Amino acid sequence: MSDQKVKVTQVKSTIGNKRGARESVRSLGLRKIHQSVVVDDNAVNRGYINRASHLLTVEVVQGSDAS
């Protein structure tokens, strides 16, 4: 894929969710509510995001300001 990045923010707690959703959020590098990370837009990260989409918000990051 391209060098596009996405900003992922955790908006809900992982408590009470299934193990797969909890592990997907952790794999993205999120530990706390309202924490954000910028990750590559690839198939692996999209899978994590889809698995826990009810806990996250996603924004596409434009240009080189992703660093």
CATH number assigned to the domain comprising residue 57: 3.30.1390.20
Residue 20: inside a domain: yes
The pLDDT tens digits for 40-50 are 999 999 999 99
The answer to whether residues 35 and 5 touch, using CB atoms and an 8 Å cutoff, is: no
Q: Give the end-to-end CA distance of the chain in Å, rounded to a whole number.
A: 18
Task: Locate 4 and state its tokens.
Answer: 């596009």
Domain count, the chain: 1
Domain that holds residue 17: 5-61
The pLDDT tens digits for 6-27 are 999 999 999 999 999 999 999 9
Residue 67: inside a domain: no
Residue with tokens 């992703």, as numbered in its chain: 66
Query: What pTM did the predictor assign?
Result: 0.86
For residue 32, how many C-alpha atoms fall within 13 Å in the half-sphere facing its CB?
A: 2
Residue 66: inside a domain: no
